[in-house]
Amino acid sequence: MSGQQQDRSSSSQVFQPLGGDDPTTIAGYRLAAKLGAGGMGKVYLSYTPGGRPVAIKVIRPEFGEDPEFRRRFAQEVQSAQRVQGLFTAPVIDADTDGAQPWLATAYVPGPSLADAVVAHGALPVETVLLLIAGMAEALHVIHGAGIVHRDLKPSNVLLAADGPRVIDFGIAYAADATSLTGSGVTIGTPSFMAPEQAAGRRVTSATDIFALGQVAAYAATGTPAFGEGTSHGVLYRIVHEEPDLTAVPERLTELVTRCLAKDPEARPSITEVIALCQSANAETVLRRPEHWLPGAVAADITVRTAAPAPVQTPPPPASLPSAAYSPTTPATPPPGYGPPARQPAPQQYATPVRAQAYAYAYAPTQVPTHAQVYPGPSMHPAARPPKRAGKRGAVIALAAALVFGIGGGGAAYLLLKNEGQETQGSGPSKGEQTDSGDRTADPKPAPKPDPKPAVYKGINLTAGYHLTLGDDDVRPQEGEDGGYELSYDTGGYLDAETQDGNLVLLDPGQEGSLAACRADTRFTKNLYLNKLSKGRQVCVTTGTGHMGLLTVQGFSAEGSPSTYMTLDVTVWRNAVGTDSGS
């Protein structure tokens, strides 16, 4: 259960100012902006006392007046507090008994899948596979808490930098049996309902699997699998007709077809869904959530990260909890979220999907619990007391005495000289003659000459292959995940594979050379092909000490049986740190 998807009509404005009919606070949470509104209520941006952004969904008053809704809402909130998956937005606070029910979840700075597809079109196959695998894991923990989502749709999936987030689980169940369902309020979205749901039959976890297949088809094609139109027409097609999958990429056909089986028993389990994503990925693992979105969609995350602060910030309380901040929730927030809990957390019984069931990795978002703590308050430089010359001299004298006792007077001279060169005449200066006749000058070693370039013309680098610049014969080799130095990832981007490796896209007309590659520091780990064109050059620095220059000569034709790019590659081996300025 959550709620921070944005109304499509206002997607151009992420953070909307509060209106005259909007509250300024909710149970101690001071509101900063409105995130959106929907059939169930409005969503606002706020912050915890520790500064973490949260999304607060305030339920519409007419739902709050229905006693059956309140009963179900309280039940779903209690269940939702047990959902702590990596791909859900955790519920951290709620009030199910107040005049107007509300709940707060962690704020996810990312567009909804619906907004992303409307703004940028269908997603690449690799992105869809990571999307569905993450959503499947989210459904695992949601179903493990005894919840069926019932309203899994693109606007209830947020696209974060490290993977998707499924939100609003459980709210459809709370509203399903209210008196409002017969008076113009639709619970569930027709285009993404399952046949049993549309026919009014029993809803199970398999219902969410059907919706998962519909979301996959929508993400890959930009249109719903059963078309659009009136609700009655769409629901009829869902119950009685087969979906139109002609535009679904071939690698996704089996996944989508099996999820959209009319019979709930014939649909795959969550583990099987993830296995289908693996096989369709043509690799043994699903990886790289930090680069899983196309560049245009990823840019939208930056806009949503710059969340505004409340206009008026209450003074910090002397101690927590305080009367100025008194949420009414019985929830137990996870570490780093929300106010202190009033009662112990419910026992978690949702078991994560075992690693051996699927072999893909998403970057964790939890803050490490072993952070180093530095004692003592920090001080602004202006507030620090001036150093005492006498105390400093005593420290230097003591250090000099110790060094004299261990290594002789020469070492003490170096200690005193390096400490600040404030004492004149404490030893011979650089270049002066010493008693032994030696000179203390330390001339700079002669710079190493630049390595000679090795040039490789017309390399056809196929997607899923890599180059190792340290090889005597630089040629494509199969594999895109490993300790290589440069790969063409099937996700449609060049990847600096080695640790400390990076790429720099040179500007049009900028001369590609060893000096240019050494000087330019606009580093990136990945470079999407939509940024490249014939003649563009890319500097490559490897973690193994080599530097390279790629010159794009062309790309595979549309009808080609393989996807590749043609490159001229120049390699300077062992060039890192050998220039005269190093």
Asked whether 198 and 239 are in contact (CB, 8 A), the reply is: yes
Peptide bond into 321 cis (omega under 30): yes
Other beta carbons less than 10 A from residue 496's beta carbon:
24
Amino acid letter, 202: R
Asked whether 62 and 101 are in contact (CB, 8 A), the reply is: no
| List 115, 151, 168, 489, catalytic entry | 151
Residues sharing a CB contact under 8 Å with residue 543, sequence separation 6 or more, in sequence order: 485, 498, 499, 500, 501
Distance in angstroms (rounded) separating the CA atoms of residues 220 and 212: 12
Sign of CA dihedral 351, 357, 358, 361: positive
Angle at 367 between CA 49 and CA 491, to 5 degrees: 120
The closest alpha carbon to 339, from 72, 30, 83, belongs to: 30
Asked whether 271 and 254 are in contact (CB, 8 A), the reply is: no
Percentage helix, strand, coil, to 5, in the chain? 30, 15, 50
Asked whether 450 and 579 are in contact (CB, 8 A), the reply is: yes
151 classed as catalytic = yes
Distance in angstroms (rounded) separating the CA atoms of residues 566 and 582: 33
Buried-exposed string 182-193: b where 16+ CB fall within 10 A, e elsewhere: eeeeebbbbbbb
DSSP label at 17?
A: P
SS3 159: strand
Distance in angstroms (rounded) separating the CA atoms of residues 155 and 171: 14
Instruction: Report the first-to-last Cα separation within the chain, whole angstroms.
Output: 56
Asked whether 534 and 508 are in contact (CB, 8 A), the reply is: no
Over its C-alpha atoms, the chain yields an Rg (Å, rounded) of: 31
Other beta carbons less than 10 A from residue 355's beta carbon:
9
Distance in angstroms (rounded) separating the CA atoms of residues 338 and 464: 44
Q: Where are the alpha helices (DSSP H) in 201-307?
A: 205-221, 231-240, 250-259, 270-280, 295-305
Angle at 305 between CA 300 and CA 311, to 5 degrees: 125
**Positions marked catalytic:** 151
